[in-house]
Structure 1
Amino acid sequence: MIFLTKQTRVISCHTKITIKVKCIVLLTLLCCVSGNENVYQRTNDIFLQNTFSTLTSPTRVKCCAYCDQTDDCMSVSYQESSRTCKLSRDPLVSVFVNGQTDTSWKSYSKNEWLLVFRGTPGIGGDIYTAWVDGIGVTVDDVTCMTTDVTTCNKNYRNPIVDSWSSVGMQQVKFAFYKDNEEAAYVIFDATGSDITSWFSSSNIVDSSWTTLATDSLNIFSIYGHDPGRRFMINRNYGGCPADAGYSIIVINKALPCTYDIQSSYPQFIISTSATSGTPETMTGMDKADVMAIFIK
């Protein structure tokens, strides 16, 4: 049986539960966290099949609270008639892929980002085909399932990417990391997209590059400038010294600029300010350690 202390504050509405838990008591065990807050999105008539724990919970709110206090829990299934609470590692975006229709159940999922791709520099290969076709990627190497700098020597691609049209995600986050910190990001509206069409200036919702949404751009494309530049957000060409942009993933030295000539490939060149930089001289630009794509 689960009890929440009086320090717990819960706000609920028709489709969401916002839960801020300070302490939770499970029989004689007291577990406390500080400032933990999550929004749980409800999906009606769905039972999550990939569950790892089952317990009895008097309410759906307490079921979600238990998930909040359990490592790796991303979603719950709750059956009100039996007061059964099942915990799952499935994130919100995979509910319709991994769920089963059942009118006696409802699922509640944390509205969080799910890492679906990690690009690793210096390992060779074309990051475009790794993303689009899954060529040369890992799906289970835990050292690659993070944005931290690790011993990872592959690109990671979550198999959920192959179910893109079924997932029903709302947003995609394209981000770069340097020294284990987020260095730049763009958030896109992903409604009705496929695995490449979300990457468009018309879909920008937010970005650390604050001039990006209104800037004049000549290339905004995952395919980029073939044969050597991918995931390219470029402001202008003007001869190599005058080139300016926000992000370039260089995959080989097929093109003639100095920034195309690297000691290993791919390399992630990004603007380090709110506006574009100059890759030829690396003015206002740097090399990132990790590239990542998230969905939710």
Structure 2
Amino acid sequence: MFIQGVYKTLHGVTKLYCCGMCSKDDTCKSVNYQRVAKECKLVSMPLSAWIPTYDTNWDVYTKIGWTLLFRGTRGIGGDIYTAWTNGDSVTEDDVTCMTTDVTSCNQHYRNPIVNMWSSLATTQIKVKYVLYKSEGEVAYIIFNGTGSNATSWFSQENVFESTWDNLKNDTYNYFSASGYNNTRRFYANRNFGGCDVDTAYTVTIATQFINCDFDVPETVPQFLYSTSATYGYPNQMIGMDRADVMAIFVMIG
């Protein structure tokens, strides 16, 4: 059974009921079920996120699908990269932030699972980087995260699928989570030859930097993304738009 991540316990229920309650609850990622006592524990972590303590009277089940690891909120401050890597200025327990609803949260959310990345990435995992506006998902990249660390999955060679048709096979100056000059984070930059000819598929402006116009927004972070099947021009906002929420998910298996 798991000793971490349990957020609700149900007594005197069947195994089917226990798993059914988890399937209807977005917070629930796995369950522990005690067969003798008919005790059900709903867990906010997927099966491989924590090392379990074994007890032959307990059954453990995990939910298949994407688990939210991080949610960045536009314009509220803070370097999105250090929020992701170190947990700077994040919440781990505000349930209003454990969703991609653009109006639900005024913080950055970080799932404690990120601290277990070295264990998580030893299994077969995919990582999904997603951008949202009020109408829903507007762009995404799915990466192969197996064998990665908490930042190396964001790379061209790990691209598995994307809303941008050319992303996998294009050429880049920067394609990394750390990005450029500690300000342009989660940066997929194709051309780097002067502000008006700089091109990108996506970039997060994490801190204000006096270089190009798009580096000095009124508030940070700003999540810029190309609105076409290829790159756009962030300085002139040609073929580009701003998302309201950036999210990172993981899927095991």
The alignment's TM-score, normalised by the length of structure 2, stands at 0.86
Return closer, same or farther for 1:71/1:192 CA change in 2, 3 Å cut-off.
closer
Matching residue of 1:181: 136
2:85 corresponds, among 132, 148, 152, to: 132
Hey, which of these two has a bigger chunk of strand by percent? 1
The within-5 A match list for 1:111-260 is 111-150=64-103, 152-168=105-121, 170-260=125-215
**Gaps spanning 5+ residues in structure 1: where?**
1-46
Identity %: 47
Matching residue of 1:86: 40
Q: Deviations over 1:260-287 (max 9, x none)?
A: 1211122111111221111122111101
- RMSD value over aligned CA atoms? 2.4
Aligned with 2:200: secondary structure? strand
More relative contact order, 1 or 2 (CA 8 Å, 6+ apart): 2
Give the whole-Å Cα distance in 2 for the aligned partners of 1:152 and 1:235: 32
Paired residues of 2:143 and 2:154 also in contact (CA < 8 A): yes
Paired residues of 1:115 and 1:295 also in contact (CA < 8 A): yes
Paired residues of 2:9 and 2:39 also in contact (CA < 8 A): no
Q: Deviations over 1:201-223 (max 9, x none)?
A: 11111111121111111111111
Amino acid at match of 1:106: D
Aligned with 1:165: secondary structure? helix
Return closer, same or farther for 1:137/1:73 CA change in 2, 3 Å cut-off.
closer
Q: Which has the larger radius of gyration?
A: 1
Give the whole-Å Cα distance in 1 for the aligned partners of 2:109 and 2:204: 16
Paired residues of 1:224 and 1:230 also in contact (CA < 8 A): yes
Q: Deviations over 1:190-240 (max 9, x none)?
A: 112211111111111111112111111111111101142111011111221
Amino acid at match of 1:127: I
Shift of 1:96: 4.6
Return closer, same or farther for 1:55/1:204 CA change in 2, 3 Å cut-off.
farther
The within-5 A match list for 1:13-92 is 47-49=1-3, 50=6, 52-57=9-14, 64-65=19-20, 67-68=22-23, 72-78=27-33, 82=36, 84=38, 86-92=40-46
Aligned with 1:259: secondary structure? helix
Matching residue of 1:282: 237
Paired residues of 2:131 and 2:139 also in contact (CA < 8 A): yes
**Gaps spanning 5+ residues in structure 2: where?**
none
Return closer, same or farther for 1:156/1:78 CA change in 2, 3 Å cut-off.
closer
Between the two proteins, the alignment pairs up a number of residues equal to: 246
- Structure 1 stretches of at least 4 aligned residues deviating more than 6 Å after TM superposition: none
Matching residue of 1:110: 63
Amino acid at match of 1:185: Y
Paired residues of 2:69 and 2:250 also in contact (CA < 8 A): yes
The 10-residue stretch of structure 1 (176-185 or 165-174) with the greater mean CA deviation from structure 2:
165-174
Q: Deviations over 1:67-109 (max 9, x none)?
A: 43567543233466x49462413342x5451632234543221
Aligned with 1:212: secondary structure? coil
Give the whole-Å Cα distance in 2 for the aligned partners of 1:72 and 1:109: 12
The alignment's TM-score, normalised by the length of structure 1, stands at 0.74
